[in-house]
A = this chain, B = another copy of it.
Amino acid sequence: MRNEQRSGCPINLSLEVFGDRWSLIIIRDMMFGNRRHFRELLSQSEEGIASNILSARLKHLLDLGMITRADDPTHKQKAIYSLTEKAIELVPVFAMLGAWGRRHLPVSRELSIRAQLLEEGGSDTWVAFMEELRTLHLGTPKRPGALSVFAELHAAYEKVLTEVETEAG
């Protein structure tokens, strides 16, 4: 058996950063769900992430410079996690990955509406969403009159969720 070696291929290095799917799942939940505390990331997880995996992956993401950790001034004894610019710039990757998943995999209606809106909105929507994430996570001042892509995605999700639940009786 040969030894693995690193290569300077951008796709390979990107995949090394992710390590496994949980790291990207956490970034997804911080990005699209604005879950910033350990407890939220744990209890609201659609995939039921285990607390030891969540701890390990948060540390991994901190080491990689994908997230930062700070004391939350509004909650005693709670840390708040924020995305870095490096992570925020994954928006187009998530948009394309979501578009592919919607087309080829058995996705649920309520969990794919946001992917659909991101795909249909195209790069203008991604740029606006990244700008909004910089305000939420990096403290960049909000541009006057900027629409909230986050609110739009969230409202669409809630609407479809209600429809699905009503249909299910």
Contact = CB atoms under 8 A, between A and B. Distances in A.
Contacts of A10: 97-102, 105, 107, 111-112, 115
A28 interface: yes
A86 B17 CA distance: 24
A14 interface: yes
Range, interface on chain A: 35 or more
Interface stretch (A44-52, A71-79, A135-143, A148-156): A44-52
Contacts of A20: 20
Instruction: Among A5, A47, A94, find the residue whose CB has the most chain B CB atoms closer than 10 A.
Output: A47
A120 to B, nearest CB: 14
How many identical subunits does the complex contain? 2
Interface string A9-31: 11111111110110011001000
Nearest to A5: B48
Nearest to A7: B46
B98 A14 contact: yes
B21 A98 contact: no
Interface of A: 1-18, 20-21, 24-25, 28, 46-52, 86, 89-90, 92-112, 115
27 contacts: A1-B50, A1-B51, A1-B52, A5-B46, A5-B48, A7-B108, A7-B111, A8-B108, A8-B109, A8-B110, A9-B46, A9-B47, A9-B107, A9-B108, A9-B111, A10-B102, A10-B105, A11-B24, A11-B28, A11-B101, A12-B28, A12-B46, A13-B101, A14-B97, A14-B101, A92-B100, A96-B96
